[in-house]
Every structure is written in structure tokens, then in C-alpha cells.
Chain A
Amino acid sequence: MLKILIPTLFLLPTTWLTSSKWLWPTALTQSMLIALGSITWLNNTTDTGWTALNSYIGTDPLSTPLLVLSCWLLPLMLLASQNHLSSEPMNRQRMYITLLATLQLFLILAFGATEMIMFYVMFEATLIPTLLVITRWGNQTERLNAGTYFLFYTLAGSLPLLVALLMLQNSTGTLSLLIIPYAKPLLLMPFGSKIWWAACMIAFLVKMPLYGMHLWLPKAHVEAPVAGSMVLAAVLLKLGGYGMMRLMIVLDPLSKEMVYPFIVLALWGVIMTGSICLRQTDLKSLIAYSSVSHMGLVAGGILIQTPWGFTGALILMIAHGLASSALFCLANTNYERTHSRTMLLARGLQIALPLMTTWWFIASLANLALPPLPNLMGELMILTSLFNWSAWTLVLTGIGTLITAAYSLYMFLMSQRGPLPQHMLALPPSYTREHLLMALHLIPLLLIILKPALLWGWFAC
């Protein structure tokens, strides 16, 4: 663990001490080496499952895929931001990279934490660099509103979590993730236990986001610069899913009754946000709502607490992280050329930028869960475990899959096919940097097809 944490920590002096000519190559190389080093975590050989274990941090098959995803994402974020930051003064560029690196550090500590309070503190700490990136480097005036919504929704959801965790600590004496599965349940009055259950879960459900509490997400994703959108969609949403998976074990007997409203919200949210996607004019907004839709399925898979549900949720989280981040990068390539996010303005790009169309195609297919991509594997596992839970969910998830396919294809056809606008003159051809960025997103997604067992979590058989 230290071989990843120390280089990430020292990325901060690196960004401030390198000369301006070598800043971006150095930051990229260091973060890429960290990412390659983090892949070694996928090798879980211990009997108990917990590797790299010490008093504070450890990795297990559940956190390892998410850790690798967040480490992998930092070089990609730096690659994506290079263009729009090149016109800023040097100190601001260094500040941006510093914020991304501190976010990375907090994410590694959050996913690797074995103590729930440490996870909670890191969960909250990730809000700060993200808020700074959104409000300082976003492009429209709405970014202030977006930052406020983002910060206050998550904070309001997570304060009850702090109280709930402290109550658990009081009763069990420890909050270590290795011990609390075996702790005796919290004995409260019936209504009190329900409130305690809700307090534990609401923070993560707001982060996921669940359909009723999702209003912060389209604003934050749309107003953030590309690296902010990437990290939000790919990793920060998964913090919510990860927290839920960890805490579900502790909450067990209560969950049988309490999950119903949330599963209903999650599944209905899949359909509602999918339908909203079909009516969006703003490309980034479409991708943001599609994230809500996929995360609704993940929430449904986690809340039913079955092995396949958890496995499907974990695979869908990783696959969606890569695919969604790829789509945001593609949307950014459009934005850098036309300075507008309106889909109508950037149509018919297959004629102008045919190589980028390949990446658009693969990313859209990944979004609509085409076999044999891991997106389908995750969705299918969640679908079947939900069907086993109750046969009627198939109606909702089936319609949801149909709408997902519809809006993914709509996005592809709207941006690539059709007539090229007559008045678009200066479309620089696709840079190699952009192709590299897309390749680094989608090639891991394609490689996961060959060995999805790496991402199955605790239930890999």
C-alpha cells in the first residue's frame, strides 16, 4: 500500500518543483507508474482475502477493483485536461494538478480504509478538491450553483452517517471492517433502529445517487471541467456504492423491511432518468442522467443483498466508471472544438472526424451494455438477482434496458450521423493525445471481457 501512497503523496512536491516545460510529462509519467503499480493489488492470494493489511489500511477483493480504477483514472484526467489548461498561468496549472492528486490520495485512503471513521473522513475529504475544481475551473456561471448543490446534498446526507457510526462504535467498541460483520446487532427501540438504518444508508444513497436525491448530479457533471466530470462519474459515485456494500453486512436484520422504498426509488429512477435522457439537448447532461440510470441499477443490486447482486453491482460500477468517463472525454473533444455542449451543433461528426467515430461507437455500445462487455455482465447479474428477489422487477429493468439502448444510440446517431452543420469551419483534427486518452479508457474495458473474475469481489468462484 505504501508503494502507491508515497508516490501519490509525492506527486504534490513534483508538481510544484518541476520546471514548466516538464510539468505535464512528469505528472503524467508519475501517475501512470502509480496506476501500473496499483494493478498488482488485483492479485489476492491470501486465505482471508485481506491483502496489504495493517492497522489502518487494507485491500480486499471488494475494494481492489475500485482502487485500481481510481489510480488508473489520474493519468487519464491529466491527459484530458492538458489542452484546456494550457492557456492558464503556470501556478494555476500546478494548483489544478495538486487538487487532482490530493483527490486521488483521499480516494485511495477511502477505498483502502479498514476503519469506518477513516472511510467517513476520507469520504468527506474528497468533496473539497472536487468542489474547488468545479467552482474554480468550470466554464459557465451556473458552476457556483452546481458546487453548492453538490456540497450540501452530500454533506446533509452524511451528517446522520457520522452519528450512526459513532453509535455503532459505542456499542461494538470498534469500527474495523474486519470485525463488525461479527458484532452483535445494535439494540434500539424499533423506530430508533429504523432511523439508524436510514442514517447509515442515506449518505451513500445520495452519493450514488438514488433517484429522489439526484438533483446535484446533472448540475455538477455538466458544470465541471472534463477532469472533474471524469472523476465524479467514474469514482466518486462508486464511493457511495462501496460504502453501501460495506455497511450492509452490519445492518442485516433490519434491511429486510427497510429496503423496499429505496429499491422502488432506484428502479423507478432507472426508467425516469432514462426517459429524461431522450429529451436532453445538452450532451454532458445526457451522459450525467445516464450515470444516474446505471447507478439506480447498482443501488437496486446492492440493496437486495444477494451474492450475485453484489457481484453484478461491483462489475457494473467498474465498467460504468470506464465507459462513462470515456463518454465525458468524447463530449469534451466536442466542446473544445465548438465551445458548446448543444448536441444539435455538433452533428455529423463522422464525416469530419472519422477516427473519433470509432471511439464514440465503442463507448456508446459500452453504455448500452453490449455483450460481451462487462457492462452487460454487471447488468445481467443484477437483473437476474432482482428477478429472483421479485419477478415484477423484470418489467422495470426490462423497460430500463430498452430505454438505455435507445438513448445511447440516440447520442451516437445525433453526434456522428446526420448532416454536418454548414457553418463549422475550424475543426482541428483529432489529436493523438485524444486518441490515446480514449484508447486508455476503452482498451481496459475490452480486456476485462477476458477475465472479469478480477472484478467479482468476494464471491468469485
Chain B
Amino acid sequence: MADYREAPLATRPKTLDPNEYFNLSPDYRRAEAERAALRAGLKRQYQLQLNNPHRKELIEDPALNRWVYARANPYNHFKATKKTSLLGALFGVAPLFILYYVFKTDRVRLYRRTTYCQCIADQALDVG
């Protein structure tokens, strides 16, 4: 990659722009230049693949692959911290008990109301 130069009309990052960099230390400038070279190398790789006339498949993006793997495999890297335990209890355990209580009280109330109404109706009609 020693013969790589940037395109003649490409803009430089701020830290490589000669009008800006007089207040930056040489170490910082060197680090920025290295990072710019890395980025340029990646971009060259991408453009080689993009403009390859014999390419039939998708260009593989390792960052995308890592992100998709991370999203798809949370359980392998799960750790029981205070936050995760709280979330688990709040969304996984407590609603079950709360909903059971809500449904049970509602159903018991409905049952008592229907049997009470039935009882009143039976008395009114003088059913034995």
C-alpha cells in the first residue's frame, strides 16, 4: 500500500488539513495520518470489490456480521447483574403474578355475581 495516494480532489480530515493543524501535537497528527491510511485501505478494498465485473455475490461486511451475531446470541453472553435481574423480574416474573391476581379476582367477582343473580332469580320465581 506504499504507493497509495488519496484522490486529488478528495477532502482531507480536519486534523490533516494544513490550515487547521498548527495547534495539534505531531504525535496526534501522526496518529491521524495512520488512521486515515487505514480507512483509505479499507475503502480501496471495498471499491475493488464493488467495481469487480465478475462479482456475483454480496460484499461481506465483517462489522455487520459481528453486529448480527451479537443481536442473535444474547443468551450466550448473558450475565446476571442488578440491572438485568431487575428487568427480568419486572417484565418476566411480576406480570405473571399480577395478571394471575387480576384475572382470578375478576373471575371470582363475576362468578359470585352470576350465582347471586341466579339465587335472586330463583327466589323470585319461587323455585324450590
Q: Type the 1/0 row for A410-431, where 1 means its CB is closer than 8 Å to any CB of B.
A: 0000000000011111100000
Would A426 and B57 count as touching, CB distance under 8 A? yes
Does A264 belong to the interface (CB within 8 Å)? yes
Residues of B in contact (CB 8 Å), total: 24
Would A339 and B110 count as touching, CB distance under 8 A? no
State the CA gap A349–B43 with chains docked (Å).
26
Q: Type the 1/0 row for A352-394, where 1 means its CB is closer than 8 Å to any CB of B.
A: 0000000000000000000000000000000000000111110
User: What's the minimum C-beta distance from A264 to chain B, rounded to whole angstroms?
Assistant: 4
Would B100 and A264 count as touching, CB distance under 8 A? yes
Q: Which residues of B contact A51 (CB under 8 A)?
A: none
Q: Which residues of A contact B96 (CB under 8 A)?
A: 261, 264-265, 268
Q: Which residues of B contact A389 (CB under 8 A)?
A: 107
Q: Which residues of B contact A338 (CB under 8 A)?
A: 58
Residues of A in contact (CB 8 Å), total: 31
Would B72 and A264 count as touching, CB distance under 8 A? no
Does B9 belong to the interface (CB within 8 Å)? no
User: What's the minimum C-beta distance from B88 to chain A, rounded to whole angstroms?
Assistant: 12
Would B99 and A281 count as touching, CB distance under 8 A? no
Q: Which of B72-128 contact A (CB under 8 A)?
A: 72, 91-92, 95-96, 99-100, 102-104, 106-107, 110
Would A339 and B57 count as touching, CB distance under 8 A? yes
Does A85 belong to the interface (CB within 8 Å)? no
State the CA gap A343–B103 with chains docked (Å).
39
* The residue from B58, B92, B95, B110 contacting A424, defined by CB atoms under 8 A apart: B58
State the CA gap A393–B71 with chains docked (Å).
32
- Answer whether A272 and B91 are a contact pair too, CB < 8 Å, given A338-B58, A423-B50, A423-B59: yes
State the CA gap A192–B64 with chains docked (Å).
53
Complex A-B: 24 CB contacts under 8 Å: A264-B103, A268-B95, A272-B91, A281-B67, A282-B68, A338-B58, A339-B57, A340-B58, A342-B64, A342-B68, A344-B64, A389-B107, A390-B102, A390-B107, A391-B106, A392-B99, A392-B106, A396-B99, A423-B50, A423-B58, A425-B55, A425-B56, A426-B56, A426-B57
Residues of A participating in the B interface, judged by any CB pair closer than 8 Å? 260-261, 263-265, 267-268, 272, 279-282, 285, 338-340, 342, 344-345, 389-393, 396, 421-426
Listed from nearest, the 7 A-B pairs whose CB atoms lie closest are: A264-B99, A426-B56, A390-B106, A423-B59, A281-B71, A390-B103, A392-B102
